[in-house]
Amino acid sequence: MSHRSPAHSCDIAIVGGGAAGLTAACAMAREGLEVICFDKSFGFDGEKKGDTRTIALLQNSVYLLQNIGVWKKCEQYAQPLDVMRVVDDTGRFPPVAEARFEARELGSDPFGYNIPNDRLVSALAQHAEEMPNITLLPTQGVASIDNLASRATVRTVEGQSFTVSLVVGADGAGSMARREAGITTTDWKYNQTAIACWFSHSLPHKNISTEFHRTSGPLVVVPMQGDQCGLVRVETPENAERLMSLDEKSFAGELQTAIHGSLGTISKVSKRSAFPLSGLVANSFAKGRTVLIGHAAHVLPPIGAQGLNLGLRDAAMIADIVAKADMRAQDPGSMQVINEYNRLRRTDILSRTFTVDFLNRSLLHGWFPPLQVTRALGVQLLKWIPPLRKTVMREGIAPGSHLPPLMHAR
């Protein structure tokens, strides 16, 4: 942890030290800005903390981590994703053919890499700690944020006060920074619970990520290093509770059946975590002297690896806008910065939110025959028309416009 005495006046305050917040901190500090980041702790042991998630980083997110100097610290734990399969496992009529997307159709790079969440966050925290213009400040919490006309004031529950030009809210779905900025949300709940863990298997995964679409929700299997895969399995709350109560052997057996034995014998299941699924989108992504990134701005179901990758695009975008403002000797928290961030992020966030929500609801309510026919026809068109398939793959990885410069290969 940073042992530097925090300056009580700096350029940027970031509330939240998860992956999105730390990425924003490193990206802005790289441009010479003075940054302070608040969280209860920085970097953690996923097994001890019960975080059994893995993160599928799409290629543009990997470019971002490379460009800010973090990727070299975590690539040893990452596994490339060369093929993405989408399998209809709903049993509905008409059946939907398997959709298979291969990264080689777009070039030599994989779609991205899968990495344990704790490894990613720890690498980001270590890198931030090494940067002289970032202060990582452990705190029991931020008590208040005053968005004043000329500066913002951030106060911790311990009584410390910091004056900054811009506040970046990266403190999750229940964001205190969002609330203090007076930003409202549209939120909703699903009658679904997601189970996350990783497991070993006897057949090679061949760098293939598979998303099984089921009536209870998606079941996603993503390759890890060695003969291991990460799992996100969405179930009804009742079945999720039953699955969480099973012993390791019974859980492995049911999982082996659920994925149709595609990875052989399943064993060595990690500690499991479960969390209810919900959706959220902020009604504004910036207000006053506060911008929102990551789950403070949007929460999506685990479909298509969109969640954290969307948050990393938030981080890269605000870093780019602030860096340009700083080069022009402008206030990093000016109304021009706030309005530009709000405008540039709106289309990407709202389109991804709508698409992922629609796909999830189509699984739950896909008994509606025209919807099932549309899904079946759409997949067939992707199989028959390579240019259309490539367009869908490119859009799935990143938006076609307004991709921040930090997310391009260099």
Q: Furthest-apart CA pair in the chain: how many Å?
A: 64
Evaluate if residue 46 carries a pLDDT over 70: no
For residues 309 and 61, the answer to whether their CB atoms sit within 8 Å is yes
Q: What is the pLDDT of residue 265?
A: 97
For the 9-78+115-187+278-367 domain, the top CATH level (class) is: alpha beta
Phi, psi of 355 (to 5 degrees): -65, -50
Residue 410 has a pLDDT of 83
Average pLDDT over residues 232-257: 97
Residue-level pLDDT at 355 = 82
Under 8 Å between Cβ of 335 and 150:
no
User: Packing angle between helix 59-67 and helix 307-327, nearest 10 degrees?
Assistant: 40
Task: Give 47's pLDDT tier (boundaries 50, 70, 90).
Answer: very low
Predicted local confidence at residue 1, as pLDDT: 46
* Secondary structure (DSSP) of 22-90: HHHHHHHHHTT--EEEEES-SS--HHHHT---EEEEEHHHHHHHHHTT-HHHHGGG-EEE-EEEEEE-S
Lowest mean pLDDT among 42-51, 136-145, 227-236: 42-51
Reported as a single tens digit per residue, the pLDDT across 206-216 is 999 998 989 89
Buried b (16+ CB within 10 A) or exposed e, 392-402: bbeebbbbeee
Task: Indicate if the pLDDT at residue 109 is higher than 90.
Answer: no
pLDDT at 5 over 60: no
Residue 127 has pLDDT above 50, yes or no: yes
φ, ψ of residue 43 to 5 degrees: the values are: 80, 140
Q: What was the pLDDT predicted at 378?
A: 67
Could you report the per-residue pLDDT of 368-392, keeping only the tens digit for each?
A: 556 666 666 666 666 667 776 777 6
Question: What whole-number percentage of the chain has pLDDT above 90?
Answer: 69
Q: What is the DSSP string of 254-321?
A: HHHHHTTTTTSSEE-----EEEEEEEEEES-SEETTEEE-GGGTEE--SSTT-HHHHHHHHHHHHHHH
